[in-house]
Chain A
Amino acid sequence: MSNKKKVVCKVRLKDGVLDPQGVTIRHALEQLGFTDVVDVRSGKVFELTFREGVNGDLRAKTEEICRKVLANPVIEEFEVKEE
């Protein structure tokens, strides 16, 4: 069994920031008859695989990666989960 560690990052637009893709998807759902859905927010998921024997706090490392690269803090927020 591999000892590589996987960390999943979810990035999405902050509340209050217009999500034109989410709005369009919601309209499409409405057209298809899924009228119970009142809001859709889109986002991205990144799976990072760390090498075996990696040192240090993976969560902190991943959060730094999110802040610097994966998310734009002006418009996006992120959530990190170790698997």
Chain B
Amino acid sequence: MRFGVVTFPGSNCDYDALMVVRDQLHHDAEFVWHKNSDLSAVDCVILPGGFSYGDYLRTGAIARYSPVMKSVIRFANEGGLVIGICNGFQVLLESGLLPGAMLRNRKLRFVCKQVYLRCETSDSPFSNQIRVGDVLKIPIAHTDGNYYWNEDGVGDHEDNKQVIFRYCDARGSITDESNPNGSINNIAGICNKTRNVFGMMPHPERASEELLGSADGLRVFQSIVAFAKAGVAV
């Protein structure tokens, strides 16, 4: 399959993402510059981490209006697979492809550390190679990762099983101490209702081989590949 990794001015995890899918999973991958709008050759769009447009105004708010995002929105609405990581997740929220918004971390600090995530559903193109209850070790690195949505909205997420990952402790318990940023219901990653668009604050591309401290993040990308191989429409 072919991945397209979008590069905004200020993206800084684009190479990491490209290397995971190209060098470790041996799939085609290309960068898509933010001023381009051609996604016709791409099977899955990756919006990488970083600080697009310097995080000015709000994280992801300016990137959301870049030319490539018009195409990404169309691509997503036609059922294409889109994964947003960290800043990419923030761009997806600002663009309305995923519901909710990011607030500043509750302790206001930039937090960069390994965290644990519990898989809440295998029923998605992004988690089909992960069992419910599996605990993944994947790092976070953000200041605005405090996921917020109103009570009704969060209730809908839970009813539709849109929450894919929650922050937990090493044993998989969902506790307030294991919530690094104050996200509502410990939410670390959610998909849309049609399950083809997914955003997560932790960085799976930074946990893609043991040398990096964990290879657990690879399973997210392996899920995407397995889904594409099966040829199942979302």
Contacts and interface: CB of A to CB of B under 8 A. Distances in A.
Interface of A: 13, 17-21, 24, 69-70, 72, 74-75
A75 B108 contact: no
Interface in B82-134: 93-94, 99-101, 103-108
Interface in B148-204: 148-149, 182
Give the size range of B's interface with the partner: 10 to 19
B100 A74 contact: yes
Given A70-B57, A72-B61, A74-B101, A20 B94 contact: no
Nearest to B153: A74
Contacts of B65: 69
17 contacts: A18-B106, A18-B148, A18-B182, A20-B106, A20-B107, A20-B146, A20-B182, A21-B108, A24-B108, A69-B57, A70-B57, A72-B61, A74-B99, A74-B148, A75-B101, A75-B103, A75-B148
Contacts, number: 37
Contact of B104 (A20, A69, A72, A74): A20
Nearest to A70: B57
B104 A21 contact: yes
A69 B62 CA distance: 8
Nearest to A71: B58
Nearest to B65: A69
A81 B108 CA distance: 30
A70 to B, nearest CB: 7
The 9 closest A-B pairs by CB, nearest first: A74-B101, A75-B101, A20-B104, A20-B106, A72-B101, A20-B108, A24-B108, A72-B58, A21-B104
Contact of B105 (A17, A20, A72, A74): A20
Nearest to A44: B57
B149 A74 contact: yes
Nearest to B146: A20
Contact of B148 (A17, A69, A70): A17
A38 to B, nearest CB: 20
B91 to A, nearest CB: 12
A75 B149 CA distance: 8
